[in-house]
Amino acid sequence: MDNSISVYIPTHNRPEMLERALVSLLEQTYKNFQVLVCNDGSEKNYSNVINKYRHQFNDFVYIENEYPQGACNARNRLINIADGEFITGLDDDDEFLPSRLEDFLRAPELREYAFLSAGHYTKTSKGVF
Report the sign of the C-alpha dihedral through residues 68, 69, 74, 75, in that order.
positive
CB–CB of 92/11 below 8 Å?
Answer: yes
Answer yes or no: is pLDDT of 5 > 80.
yes
How do residues 43-66 score in pLDDT, each as one tens digit?
Answer: 999 999 999 999 999 999 999 999
Helix or strand or coil: residue 33?
strand
CB–CB of 89/7 below 8 Å?
Answer: yes
| DSSP summary character for residue 47 | H
Report the sign of the C-alpha dihedral through residues 7, 76, 90, 48, in that order.
positive
Confidence of residue 2 (pLDDT cuts 50, 70, 90): low
pLDDT, position 121: 67
How do residues 107-126 score in pLDDT, each as one tens digit?
Answer: 888 888 877 776 666 767 88
